[in-house]
Structure 1
Amino acid sequence: MTERQHQLATVRGGNASGPERLCAVTRQSLDPKDLLRFVLGPDGAIVPDLDRKLPGRGVWVGCDRGLVEKAVRNHTFAKSLKTGVKAPADLADRIDALMVKRLSGTLSLANKAGLVIAGFDRVFAALEKGSVAAILHGMDAAADGRSKIDRKFKAIQGSRGLEARIVDVLTIAQMSLAIGRGSVVHAALTPGGLSDRFLEEAERLTRYRSPATETATIFSEAQSEG
């Protein structure tokens, strides 16, 4: 296992969220938090049920873009539901967009609750105070600004035996829109329920875009580098 794979596995750790379900593509039994649920909508269309609460018989697919694309190609939904339903060809893109919308909405709520610190200087100052639960970077942010913040955050968290949670799944434009100010490249979350919810949603989007065999973009570290 590579270091990045270990990082993603660490993020996925935690209590099980319920009885296992069978992935319709791989036929593996997994915890619901590692799966996406789909139901047949009133209009006969396949509907992603990200909250896993919609009524009706569910079809479960691993939280992996490639598996969703395979389910569409192989008509997995029609076979599982025993109907002639045809999933839209862009279903994988629609799910990604839904996840981004949910994540951005949660970030907006966290900001309104006073849990978001935006801007390089303000984030760096917050690190000095030790009140940061996670660091956020625009996924298109320059590496030099990111590395300076990350090194300090990892060192601080490592000295305390705490995880250094760093997220870069939203673009600068998406972060800026959610926070309601121009050009938010770097931000930080302070501890709180909405921060925890944001991190859970970010981890799911990361998992969807980056299977365990690829690079993770949200990770946990208990010790500083070096």
Structure 2
Amino acid sequence: MRSPRNDRVSSDRTDAPARAGEPERTCILSGGVAARDALIRLAISPPGPDGACVVLPDVHARAPGRGAWIGVSRADLEKAQAKGKLKGALLRAFGKTLGAKSAGAPTLVIPDDLSDRIESALTRAFTDRLGLELKAGRLLMGSDRIAEQARGGLVCWLAHAADAADDGSRKLDQAWRVGSEAEGTGLRGTVLPLDRMALSVALGRDNVVHLALVDRGAAERVAAPLRRLLHFQGQAAVNEAAAEADKGHGQAQAESTAVTTN
């Protein structure tokens, strides 16, 4: 995310220069600019009976009206909320919508559990995307099936549950490197921020531990919400070794691989 100097325009702006044709937005807290799909949109509800408009996550950016965009981690968001910086930034973003200077204008309410709501929404967006790829027959599960496809050079995205056994993950990582002609490199599957139980419940299958995709478009669609989730959780550092080792193999994977420790 780049930080423009003296850039005070709205977070909902549409005149920012785009990378590769992608629209960009400005984070209301950091002032950094990033692709729209890399940030999280916040929206406000219609005024309730008490005249309050509640701030809610809009991770699919579909809610009508004005939005405010954030690109910070959960820890930074909670610090900004505790210090009152978040409310100030949101009042500036939604001031015209609220009619803040008008008598009887709605009040802005930021839920105490806003961070929890955002993380839950981001997790749901990621697992929903996995579910859609599963229904379309593009998501592979099961170590033997994944290993066969990986050795054949067909896998372009590989992931492991947070509680996957190290030896099982290493075997699949090695099969992927062999099939990708990337032996001796750091190319490996992403350790997901979900354990096997969470993945199994989300996908309606038993004992989901390893996942793979052989369709590049599907891999890109899955990588996008995963990157946002990992960034919000503070795990956004990209594995540079995997990215360097990739050399065109599994590009979507390399972009979404996070440095994680168990």
Distance 2:199 2:23 in 1: 32
2:163 is paired with a residue whose SS is coil
State which of 60, 75, 81 in structure 2 corresponds to 1:66.
Answer: 75
Q: Mark the CA change 1:124 to 1:53 in structure 2 (over 3 Å): closer, same or farther.
A: same
Check whether the contact 1:104–1:174 (CA below 8 A) recurs between aligned residues: no
Give the structure 1 partner of residue 131 of structure 2. 108
The equivalences for 1:149-188 within 5 A come to: 149-159=172-182, 164=187, 166-169=189-192, 170-188=194-212
- Unmatched tracts of structure 2, length 5 or more: 1-18, 101-106, 250-262
- Unmatched tracts of structure 1, length 5 or more: 1-13
Q: Mark the CA change 1:57 to 1:28 in structure 2 (over 3 Å): closer, same or farther.
A: same
1:85 is paired with a residue whose SS is strand
Percent of aligned pairs sharing the same letter:
28
Distance 2:157 2:187 in 1: 7
Give the structure 2 partner of residue 18 of structure 1. 23
RCO comparison, higher one (Cα < 8 Å, 6+): 1
TM-score (norm 2): 0.68
Give the structure 1 partner of residue 91 of structure 2. 79
- Which structure would you say has the larger Rg? 2
Distance 1:27 1:195 in 2: 30
Give the structure 1 partner of residue 43 of structure 2. 39
Cα deviation for residue 172 of structure 1 reads 0.7
Cα deviation for residue 158 of structure 1 reads 4.1
CA RMSD of aligned residues (A): 2.8
State which of 158, 162, 182 in structure 2 corresponds to 1:135.
Answer: 158
Cα deviation for residue 165 of structure 1 reads 6.7
Check whether the contact 2:162–2:195 (CA below 8 A) recurs between aligned residues: yes
1:96 is paired with a residue whose SS is helix
Check whether the contact 2:197–2:208 (CA below 8 A) recurs between aligned residues: yes
Check whether the contact 1:158–1:222 (CA below 8 A) recurs between aligned residues: no
Moved more, 67-76 or 89-98: 67-76
